[in-house]
């Protein structure tokens, strides 16, 4: 499985001042793919006019580096406020246009989260009270996004926040026939494996054919940490055994970007050790 290490790219967020810089870094360090986290104000689609987008596409084609996108995390379609939800849908449409124009084939997307309210000392998530309304928001929102992106860009839903809500787990497979894909964050799966295995590991193992992006980072099993590979308890050999396919983009999701170089060497050592122990 050592060959898989050379297929891992990195997520750009903290360090770069433009998208061209991400390609330069990837090219210098032999990363085959970059995931641009669109939370960065330097990566906003508005930063590049049509000519700039064409130049970026040509730069990508000349470098051999693939570009994928990660939608801003402040967005989400699990929102019963129509105007807010509409704004998120429209922004996703703009990202689809941008991705298509620059040659980014995939967009990782968080569906959003419910509103937490405290009642008599207890934290209550409103989707547990207004289940039908939240389900409707999710289904109609994702339907709109998929209709717009079909045959243009792959929308990949990540296992975070509202992904674990019952109505999302029940409704999401219905969209697979429409082209919805998945982003499997194995760091998230690691810290939830003992408390919510059915919403992460079990769900993804049942739908491996829909996985198109995998996020790699480490933690110690109790919370999300985004540590360097090797600084935690993630069983990388186990998880990677399920996603060893050239059709899946593998991404180190650690910051700053120099730490991704350490991740790559650590992952290589971990997998080499696993291979040796299996002999």
10 band by pLDDT with thresholds 50, 70 and 90? very high
Q: How does the average pLDDT of the chain come out, rounded?
A: 95
- Taking residue 198's Cβ as centre, other Cβ atoms within 10 Å add up to 11
- Indicate whether 45 pLDDT > 80: yes
The reported pTM is 0.95
- Indicate whether 199 pLDDT > 80: no
**Average pLDDT score over residue span 239-258:** 96
- Indicate whether 107 pLDDT > 80: yes
**Which of these, 5, 11, 24, 35, lies nearest to 154 by C-alpha position?**
35
Question: What local confidence, expressed as pLDDT, does residue 193 receive?
Answer: 83
Q: How far is residue 211's CA from residue 158's CA, in Å, rounded to a whole number?
A: 10
| Total tally of structural domains belonging to the chain | 1
Question: What local confidence, expressed as pLDDT, does residue 177 receive?
Answer: 96
Range of the domain at 15: 2-278
Of 1-10, 121-130, 137-146, 193-202, the one with minimum mean pLDDT is 193-202
What is the helix (H) or strand (E) element at residue 268, kind and residue range? helix 258-278
**Average pLDDT score over residue span 31-59:** 97
| Percent residues over pLDDT 70 in the chain | 98
- Indicate whether 279 pLDDT > 70: no
**Average pLDDT score over residue span 164-186:** 97
CATH of the domain at 264: 3.20.20.150
**β 116-119/122-125 pair status:** antiparallel
């Amino acid at each position: 499985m050592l060959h898989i290490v050379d297929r891992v790219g990195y997520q750009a967020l903290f360090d770069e001042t433009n998208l061209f810089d991400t390609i330069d870094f990837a090219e210098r360090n032999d990363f085959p793919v970059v995931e641009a986290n669109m939370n960065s104000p330097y990566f906003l689609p508005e930063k590049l006019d049509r000519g700039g987008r064409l130049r970026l596409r040509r730069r990508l084609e000349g470098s051999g580096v693939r570009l994928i996108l990660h939608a801003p995390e402040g967005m989400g379609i699990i929102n019963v406020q129509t105007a807010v939800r509409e704004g998120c849908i429209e922004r996703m449409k703009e990202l689809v246009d941008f991705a298509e124009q620059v040659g980014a084939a995939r967009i990782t997307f968080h569906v959003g989260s419910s509103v937490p309210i405290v009642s008599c000392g207890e934290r209550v998530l409103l989707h547990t009270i207004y289940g039908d309304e939240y389900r409707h928001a999710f289904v109609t929102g994702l339907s709109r996004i998929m209709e717009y992106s079909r045959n243009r860009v792959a929308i990949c839903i990540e296992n975070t926040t509202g992904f674990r809500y019952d109505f999302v787990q029940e409704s999401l497979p219905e969209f697979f026939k429409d082209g919805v894909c998945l982003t499997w964050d194995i760091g998230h799966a690691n810290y939830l494996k003992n408390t919510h295995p059915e919403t992460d590991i079990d769900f993804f193992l049942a739908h491996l054919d829909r996985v198109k992006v995998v996020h790699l980072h480490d933690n110690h099993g109790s919370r999300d940490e985004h540590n360097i590979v090797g600084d935690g308890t993630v069983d990388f050999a186990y998880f990677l055994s399920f996603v060893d396919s050239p059709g899946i983009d593998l991404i180190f999701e650690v910051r700053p970007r120099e730490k991704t170089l350490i991740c790559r060497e650590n992952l290589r050592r971990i997998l080499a050790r696993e291979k040796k122990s299996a002999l």
